[in-house]
Amino acid sequence: MKLFIQIPCYNERDTLPAVLADLPREIDGVDEIYTLVVDDGSTDGTAEKARELGVDFVLQNPGNLGLAQSFVRGMESCLNLGADIIVHTDGDNQYQGADIPRLAAPVLQGEADMVVGCRDISGHPEFSRTKKLLQKLGSAVVRRLSGTGVPDATSGFRAFSRRAALRLCVMNMFSHTLETLIQAGECGLRVAWVPVGTNPKTRPSRLFSSNFQFIKNQLMVLFSSYLFYRPKRFFGLLSAGSGLVALAGSARIAYYLAFAPPDMIKFKTGTGLLVLFALILCVLFAVSGLFASVFTGHRFLLEDIRFRVRAAQPPSASLVDNRDLYAAPEFFRWKELSAGHIPPARVSHG
């Protein structure tokens, strides 16, 4: 049983030693624990630091691709290197590595395909009241859309079974957290959660600069995910709303024609135009929903084919020689890290 801990990093040279020092060296039921750092175009020497610290694999992005694409590239590499379980944590040392065994336990026991490490939102000392409210509201919306019971939907501290990692497909460019939850619910993956602790904040978030930007980006992810997976319901609601507007306008016109005094009877031109416009929208939304549902069916078929093809392919160790992926000459050297000391690095460049 191979467990890979993937750590996306962007200029995390200073925090990476603490992240590695906190990782578990042994987990019951796991034979081998590997570390993989995804360097997202860092300019502070994060990749070099990772190799110096004995990280087993370092995947270097061709540029700053963002968290979502770093997550995707890391998952692909872990799968091709033979991972049975993949744990995703952050390079800023936000999450406590000591919680990884508890996070991976439901996957190891066959009880879940994806496990989310949930922070104590209400008691988080570094979250403002506004952020706590937004986190709770956003998580409630995601629970409603995904059919899962995860109370901290934006947590990136997660464990995935190989089956879940093969099945999931991230489309947005911002973050993987919300989309993978919605997709997991739609694909029938078993999703669980465990409470986890956090470490003191080491730096401001690089994923967003303000609550407004965070809300805007997360709303876009929710919107696109909902549109991808439930277009019939989405366009159906829009069509029904337009239909109600047209019905209300028609009722107003009918009232004036049938019940108003003779001196007040006249055709309501503005209302008539509103009814015509609403009817056109009603039909357009209905047709769009039908077409989108067909495309969604095609997407599900393509995702199923993609899953079956990937599942049938054996892990390919040849990716170790890929120009973007560096393998340590000696695996598990990061386990020697203790009290901030590790023997001098013996680094291979390919």
pLDDT in tens, the chain (350 residues): 999 999 999 999 999 999 999 999 999 999 999 999 999 999 999 999 999 999 999 999 988 888 889 999 999 999 999 999 999 999 989 999 999 999 999 999 999 999 999 998 888 777 778 778 888 888 888 888 888 889 998 899 999 999 999 999 888 777 788 889 988 988 889 999 999 998 887 766 666 556 677 677 777 777 777 777 778 888 898 999 999 999 998 888 887 777 767 666 565 678 888 999 999 999 999 999 888 888 878 778 888 888 888 888 777 655 544 568 888 888 898 988 654 555 544 433 33
Q: Whole-angstrom Cα distance, residue 91 to residue 93?
A: 5
pLDDT given for residue 339 in this prediction: 44
> Does residue 54 come out as left (phi exceeding 0), alpha (psi in the -120 to 50 range) or beta?
left
Integer Cα distance of 190 and 119 in angstroms: 20
2-227+324-336 in CATH: which number? 3.90.550.10
What one-character-per-residue DSSP string does 209-237 give? SSHHHHHHHHHHHHHHHHHHH-HHHHHHH
- Whole-structure pTM over 0.75, yes or no? yes
Q: What are phi and psi of 287, to 5 degrees?
A: -65, -40
How high is the pLDDT of residue 161?
Answer: 96
For 78, 131, 178, 228, 348, the CA distances from 171, given in Å and listed in that order, are: 19, 26, 11, 10, 34
DSSP 8-state secondary structure symbol assigned to residue 109: T
Strand-pairing partners, residue 5, are 35, 87
